[in-house]
Structure 1
Amino acid sequence: MVLVTRSCGETKAGTRRRRRGAGSFVLAPGPEELRTIALASGFSVPDLPANWKALVGIAGLVAEEILSDDTDDAGEIADALHLKISDGEASASDLATMGITDIDSCELSYEVVEEVARILREGWQVVQREAII
């Protein structure tokens, strides 16, 4: 399961106002759980790639780099990410999901960066909307 935070703020329904509480959280299923649920419900679902955790772990960093530098070059993105990681700018949870245990000897595969960039671009409108929120 994945822990998802909800944003705080006021909503207005007619004339009545409701306030969502600060620090409210929702447990959302992760890719493995979603696939299991889909299969149990009779849907045809492709297998998850063997490196799906690394893809998820690096996706936020790749999206940030694409948004900040507007580049398509996987090599440039990988080099920028390596610099961010070595400078301690990546979260511990992202590093753990990517399987990086030693920052000094981590290597980012250009192929993985390129795959994540391709996946993000396929759903780029959603990525941009989420970046604005």
Structure 2
Amino acid sequence: MTGEPWLYRVLVDPGATRSDAPLLDLPPGTEPADAASAAVTVFAVDAEAPALVLRVDDDEVGVTTRAHLHRLGGTVLRGPGDGDGATLPGESTRYVVLRFACETCETTAYRVHVGMSGAPECPNGHGPMEAER
């Protein structure tokens, strides 16, 4: 990993398991606050997701849960220049969360980018996953 994996440790729920958790794949250099915001967005879109496997720059960071992020609250993850944390209603102007699914086994993955490597591969060996709308 080109970044610092310990930066994301605060997002990892120590009691969480990865069983059937969708993947949230983030690009290199993603700030922890942006990773948390992306995870919150995925949980808002996918109400059935119990947890998310966080991966930054192709390295797995760990598993986070909706409850863990709720316990953290917004103030822990704010950085310098973030102001009072107020947000305008509507979709994020910083990223769009993309959902991919395997047509064979229905495994789900989320990304905030599609790099040169294209769509994510199914972890069960079924090839590239298809983008959903």
Structure ranking higher in helix proportion = 1
TM-score (normalised: structure 2) = 0.30
TM-score (normalised: structure 1) = 0.30
